[in-house]
Structure 1
Amino acid sequence: MAQHSTHPGGASRVRRRALLGTAILAVLVALAGLAAHLTREGRSPSATAASPPSAAPSGPHTRPRALPVPPKTRDPITYGKAAAAALWSYDTRAYSQPELREALRGWLTTESKYADRASVDQAVPSAVLWKEMAANKQVATAKINEGHFPHAFTQALQDDPGAITQAYVYAVTVSGKQSIRWKGSAAGGAESRSTTLAVQCRPHHFCTLVGVMPSVAP
């Protein structure tokens, strides 16, 4: 899926992706093969939207109809949980696919050398798929169960506490449930979800999103 390009924009994206990988690998040294996965070959996070699951939704969910707004917090786990809820939620009745994509980009760090915009864009259903979902008035909401620092992240920090001070990028793994409903379906459906996010929380600044990791770190 990833291709080499001589176009300056493509080269810039490659350099940014490499810098992101370097920042995360500094604190996730135990995740072997992570750099290779950063190319995101074969990754299709929007696939679940095309085929709603069969289990019935339950419990409190994020409020639909509003574009996601990042919380003002200095806690990477709190921020990671909010970001996961935003990435797993959408309302095709209330806004367009480009509006949702731009809103999610607003969660990204302003430090362009770390911000992985592509990983966030890939979490949004494609324009073609969105059109089909909108025809069915499809809505997805998220219920977050828990968030934590992956074991490899905490172990890496114990081994080298100073490693994080270059970019202050934290790995946060979040698990929960995405519930989907659509026109003509009273019950809808739901499925368990989990993701690992890279969250930047520099001292004396609110947290921001760096990107969505290509694989889930336990």
Structure 2
Amino acid sequence: MMPKFMPFKPGGQSLMLRRVLIGLGALVVAALIAGLIARYAGGGHRAPAPAASAAPATSPRTSASGTLVPGTPAPSASATPSVSPVAAPPHTTDPLAFAQAFATALWSYDTRTTTQSQQLAGLRAWMTGESQYADLDAVASQVPDPTLWDRMRDNGQWATGQAAEAHLPAAFQSAVAKDPTKLTVAYLYAVTVTGTQSITWNDGGRGAEDRAITIAVQCRPGHDCALASIAPTVYP
């Protein structure tokens, strides 16, 4: 019997994601660092919004050391419940621990109680407050669009993610070892996470799938780690 759950395969690279993760298509994770630094340090990031545009509200985060971290865009009150349905970012300076926590949050959802906009806003709360490094479109590409989300909700679909392992890809470690200064501009780490996603839907339906994702995590000294982007390809 065909499963009743609505499959969703993240995709649709944004222009920003291609710029942030340039070179990854050649299976060279080192480009995650080299490309980011070259573009951002050289002024190749997104242009500022026009002065007439209203800046999004932000809310600061506090690191474990008590240092205020620049805020991330706060979703509108109408689109977000008082308590976010997505787990809050952990207070950690460990990129591996952060990546595992984010992957777990990304692979977990409940369409029965959460709207698509609430899920997306909750995930974006994990992003760095440094707008030139925050690839919002990369997160959006990992969440079903509103139409598919509604179909999943009609089916009573919900999922629980579990991150089993996280590591720095060998190519990334090699690039940093050759030139440690590449890390000191944006402090971005490439982290690959593997795990599972258990899916449940109406009438007792159940399923499970293996998951893997490569994440760009920003961990500046003295600050909590934050999400920068998501790679379109998983690396060993």
Letter in 2 for 1:103: G
Among 137, 141, 163, which residue is 1:144 paired with?
Answer: 163
| 3-state SS of paired residue (1:184) | helix
The unaligned stretches of length 5 or more in structure 1 are 4-12, 36-64
Query: Are residue 197 (structure 1) and residue 215 (structure 2) matched?
Result: yes
8 Å CA contact retained: 2:85, 2:118: no
8 Å CA contact retained: 1:171, 1:198: yes
Name the CA distance, whole Å, in 2 between partners of 1:18 and 1:128: 25
Query: C-alpha offsets along residues 161-211 of structure 1, whole Å, 9 cap, x if unaligned?
Result: 11100100000000000110001125x000101000000000000000001
1:20 Cα deviation (Å)?
2.8
Matches within 5 A, 1:1-218: 14=15, 17=17, 20-21=20-21, 28-29=29-30, 66-186=85-205, 188-218=206-236
Letter in 1 for 2:202: K
8 Å CA contact retained: 1:17, 1:114: no
1:143 Cα deviation (Å)?
1.5
Q: TM-score, normalised by structure 1?
A: 0.73
Report the RMSD for the aligned CA atoms in angstroms.
2.8
1:125 Cα deviation (Å)?
0.9
Letter in 2 for 1:195: I
Structure with greater proportional strand content:
2
Letter in 2 for 1:137: G
The unaligned stretches of length 5 or more in structure 2 are 1-10, 37-83
Q: Percent identity?
A: 45
Letter in 2 for 1:89: S
Q: 1:2 to 1:30 in 2, by over 3 A?
A: closer
8 Å CA contact retained: 1:30, 1:152: no
Give every structure 1 segment of 4 or more consecutive aligned residues whose post-TM-superposition deviation is greater than 6 Å.
none
Name the CA distance, whole Å, in 1 between partners of 2:18 and 2:123: 22
